[in-house]
Amino acid sequence: MSKPNATSKQLAIDQIHCMDAIAGLRRLDDESIDLVITDPPYNVAGKNKTTIRHGRVMSTMEAWGQWDCLHPFDHDILLMQVISECYRVLKPGGAFYMFTSRQDNGYFIRKAIARGFTYRNQLAMVKTTAVPSFFKNSWRSCFELCMYLTKGRQGTFNFPEQREARNVHEWSIRTKSTTHPTEKPLDFIKKLVRISSNPGDLVLDPFMGSGTTAAAAKEQGRHFIGFELNSEYIDIAKTRLKGGRAAGSKAKQMNG
């Protein structure tokens, strides 16, 4: 597999760089990326929102750490910058998949359209093993949303079987392979990669976490580049990419 032409100012391809997403994005050349799949902080963690980690009920703030607790204004700015930079670095026709919280999905779709993206669809990941309702006073959170837009006219779309092309994906948290608290399902991300890119293409994820996008790209003969601030998560991703057992993979959790 040949490497794509120089796509970044001194940033290596097939690496997860330990750096801030915006700083990293600014070092990528215009129109150098074939596909973006990203899962930025949802900014929903809180003291009163519960999850299960290592078999214990705890607040999402305790379970996830500080990265999901931005001031709402700063979160808006972060995601607007991400949208803007991803638009700049994508090649014409390239696809942009971004997960957000349910309440923010429409808001950031409108921001992406305002930046120039063309709206295509939304995909829902339905959790078959969602966290139970501890207080039994509201609906259980059983799905997450991912927006799908393209930079202008749609480029690559390798249509699979009709069944696989449904915009709903069922997900059991039992398939998690690392201790990252918000690891996305590898089979779903692999599907996005397979459908919206071709072998040898370059896939970007500015918020790599446990490296799911990188693993999906690598397993399917695509190149990847991405960023992650937390060096422990980068270690987990590196182990995963080497084919080793990711740190603490026995400990499974459920997300809210």
Which chain residues interact with ligand SAM by CB under 6 A? 20-21, 39-41, 67, 180, 182-184, 207, 209-210, 212, 227-230, 233
The minimum distance between CB 229 and ligand SAM, in angstroms, equals 4
**77 vs 114, beta carbon nearer ligand SAM:** 77
The minimum distance between CB 40 and ligand SAM, in angstroms, equals 6
The minimum distance between CB 117 and ligand SAM, in angstroms, equals 20
**21 vs 155, beta carbon nearer ligand SAM:** 21
The minimum distance between CB 231 and ligand SAM, in angstroms, equals 10
**13 vs 69, beta carbon nearer ligand SAM:** 69
Q: Which of 105, 74, 94 shows the shortest CA–CA distance to 195?
A: 94
**98 vs 149, beta carbon nearer ligand SAM:** 98
**Cα separation, 112 vs 41, whole angstroms:** 17
The minimum distance between CB 246 and ligand SAM, in angstroms, equals 10
The total number of residues written for the chain in this structure: 256
**Cα separation, 129 vs 225, whole angstroms:** 31
What are the tokens at 93? 């026709």
Q: Which residue is nearest to ligand SAM (CB)?
A: 209
CB 120 within 8 A of CB 148: yes
Our measurement of the distance from residue 198's CA atom to the centroid of its chain's CA atoms, rounded to an integer in Å, reads: 19
Q: Which of 191, 186, 184 shows the shortest CA–CA distance to 163?
A: 191
**Cα separation, 206 vs 229, whole angstroms:** 10
**101 vs 118, beta carbon nearer ligand SAM:** 101
